[in-house]
Amino acid sequence: MTTTIRGTLHPRFETILTPEAVAFVAALDGAFAGRRAELLQDRRDRARRISAGEKLDFLPETSRIRNDPSWTVAAPGPGLTDRRCELVSPATRKMGVHALRSGAQVWLADLEDATAPSWENVITGQVNLYDAARDQLEYTDEDGETEHGRLNPPTIIMRPRGWHLCEKHIAIDGRPISASLVDFGLYFFHNARTLIDSGAGPYFYLPKIESHAEARLWNDVFVMAQDLLGIPQGTIRATVLIETLTAAFEMDEILYELRDHCSGLNAGRWDYIFSYIRTFAQRGDEFVLPDRDRVTMTTPFMRAYTRLLVATCHKRGAHAIGGPAAVNPTRQDEESRHRAMSQVRAEKEREAAEGFDGSWVAHPAVVDTCLKAYATVLGERTCQRDVNRVSDITARDLLSLDGIQQTISLQGVRTNVTVALRYLAAWVGGTGAVAIEHLMEDAATVEISRAQLWQWVHHRSQLAEGPQVTRELVERVIEEEMTRLTQGQDDVQVARYEAARDILTQVALEEYLPGFFTNYGYVRYLTDRPLRMKGPLNPQDLRQSERVPATATAGQGAA
């Protein structure tokens, strides 16, 4: 078996890409690559059936699991009892230090939607997490001031990339390896024992899951990983993001498949809205959503989804975690900042009143507001997993757009175009979380923007101002925004905007709606220079130690 590292070895990459660590990842990929491919094909097959008219409903073949009141998930792992505020950020040194000093109970170190998956970002993120796990993460700013993350640090939960993505910079026998297993495997191999020794553990957020069969695959990965490193079974804890429409119908089943390793579900609101559009992209006009700012968490189909999530979690002893407060308050004037923080507090108080045990925020300045909001409802309690809510949510509730005024405006089209272009230009340049108009935008919000443009064009949606949304209209808006956004920019930035326009055109205006923009953008624009590495060691040797000499390097040539 030949493993090829096709990315440049930047400083300290040899700490992460040791022969032993690569062998561990290769062992996982060798065991599960076939099942992953089958499950991705199952996704495509199901998508075609839904496009042809198949109804979404709770699975009759798993009713036994849903109706059995006796089973629960594992107890929260060490450091996961209190999850009232979880700060999500890229795993950069600066953002990591700020997260560790933020006062949040959890730092969600994101290698997925908040990270542009360039080779340098992916492995540098692993380096930073390696340091954070050892209480050694530091950041030096432009003035030479050094900050460190040792001030009552929160529990770390890492989010790997989804099953649909490959890591093109690592190949086994010429085949690109699963990005999910690269992210999970490198982090787990290097940090699992260190995290356990520190009183926490190896914890993960699992994104983009579409079925309980995909959750079962993750569970089997966990079992094998713990076995290979001699770590007790059940040490891992995972929180699953319910951010696809199909997964919303399988919450009980997902918890059941992961019950020995699961600690909760999260309401991934932005991806969920995107998934709704994508799932019904080929269906009728009745599934067209209005301007994205009109689809809120109080919209009936979104309320049904969160009510079901809370009820399902508490029935099974799991944490229910709310969606992100995407406010970026640092560059607003005082009046706007106060208004935004009041909105955040009201939103978080509503979540807590509905039964959530905690929630995400996307900026350290919002942490205290979130904590105070939850304290208003919870008092001294750290969660409300013991409060059971009876769910009467039906399949129709999860799908119905009743109560939504399907207003599409020219400003809504322009907002989607502008957000997509600005974000994608930053993404091509290596930045995965971008502040745009006082909001933190990531890959999920851009997925909504480009999917809405596609949906509006292909369903001949009417603007509130009169004309229909056509490809020609969207192309005109793109050109207008390109002119505005590139004015006065240097050649590098203009080139990034040109790349952003290319990606947006490919994923929003072609006849076929791609599942994700990241696949096209990643293959075309996030490249690195090739380097070859000698084949991995025997996986049977992996039990010995997670700690490898700092001098270990990747060898030249192929085995």
Q: What is the DSSP code string of 496-540?
A: HHHHHHHHHHHHHSSSS--S-HHHHHHHHH--------PPPPPGG
Phi/psi at 43 (5° precision): -60, -50
Is 159 noted as a catalytic residue in this protein? yes
Contact by Cβ (8 Å): 444, 271: yes
Residue type, 255: L
Phi/psi at 455 (5° precision): -60, -45
Residue with tokens 């369903």: 459
Contact by Cβ (8 Å): 58, 79: no
Structure tokens given for 440: 């933190």
Residue with tokens 């969606």: 323
Contact by Cβ (8 Å): 252, 307: no
| The one catalytic residue among 159, 193, 316, 422 | 159
CB neighbour list of residue 18: distance below 8 Å, 6 or more residues apart: 548, 552
Residue with tokens 């923080």: 341
Per-residue 3-state assignment (H helix, E strand, C coil) for 36-48: HHHHHHHHHHHHH
Cβ count near 472 (within 10 Å): 9
Q: How many CA atoms lie within 13 A of 17 on its CB side?
A: 28
Is 303 noted as a catalytic residue in this protein? no
Contact by Cβ (8 Å): 269, 323: yes
Query: Residue 428: is it exposed, middle or buried by C-beta count within 10 angstroms (0-12/13-18/19+)?
Result: buried
Label residue 429 left, alpha or beta by phi (over 0 means left) and psi (-120 to 50 means alpha).
Answer: alpha
Closest CA to 113 of 530, 409, 517: 517
| The one catalytic residue among 110, 252, 357, 442 | 442
Contact by Cβ (8 Å): 201, 77: yes
Beta strands in 96-247 (DSSP E): 106-110, 138-140, 146-148, 155-159, 166-172, 175-178, 203-206, 237-242
Residue with tokens 């010429």: 174
* Residues catalogued as catalytic: 159, 442
